[in-house]
């Protein structure tokens, strides 16, 4: 099973709302990732978690707050977002975060900020 699940599929939120995106994998992977993908653009890395610890933050604004409650779950907490944050948010996982491991992606959450 190489499935990464994400909920919700779609999310519309106002700029004053607080919401969370959820990601889950049951492949025993120890690395999990959040990417942001704008329309007609490639995915851009936001965060890397390795063994449940935040390893890389690609200078992401603090209105995005990641959390890894356990090795299977990854959350992205959203607060006070801007309309330009509207995008497809992709979660991925890999066996390890070091070089040479492919990443498996979830279907994404389509976020619209109004």
23 CB-contact burial (10 Å; exposed 0-12 / middle 13-18 / buried 19+): buried
The only residue of 90, 93, 95, 112 in contact with other proteins, by rule CB under 8 A: 90
42 is an interface residue for other proteins by CB under 8 A: yes
41 CB-contact burial (10 Å; exposed 0-12 / middle 13-18 / buried 19+): exposed
The only residue of 11, 34, 36, 43 in contact with other proteins, by rule CB under 8 A: 43
Q: Other C-beta atoms within 10 Å of 33: how many? A: 26
**3-state SS class at 84:** helix
Instruction: Determine the interface stretch with other proteins among 13-21, 35-43, 66-74, 77-85 (rule: CB under 8 A).
Output: 35-43
12 versus 56: smaller Cβ distance to other proteins: 56
The only residue of 48, 74, 81, 113 in contact with other proteins, by rule CB under 8 A: 48
104 is an interface residue for other proteins by CB under 8 A: yes
Residue from 56, 49, 19, 40 nearest 88 by CA: 40
Structure-token pair, residue 102 = 């492919």
Instruction: State the residues that interact with other proteins by CB under 8 A.
Output: 4, 6, 40-43, 45, 48, 50, 55-56, 88, 90, 92, 94, 97-108, 110
């Amino acid at each position: 099973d190489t499935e990464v699940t994400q909920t919700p599929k779609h999310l519309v939120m106002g700029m004053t709302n607080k919401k969370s995106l959820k990601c889950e994998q049951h492949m025993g992977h120890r690395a999990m990732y959040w990417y942001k993908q704008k329309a007609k653009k490639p995915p851009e890395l936001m965060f890397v978690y390795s063994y449940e610890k935040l390893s890389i933050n690609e200078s992401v604004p603090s209105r995005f707050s990641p959390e890894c409650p356990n090795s299977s779950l990854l959350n992205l907490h959203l607060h006070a977002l801007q309309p330009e944050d509207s995008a497809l948010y992709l979660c991925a996982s890999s066996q390890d975060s070091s070089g040479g491991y492919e990443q498996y992606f979830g279907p994404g959450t389509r976020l619209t900020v109004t």
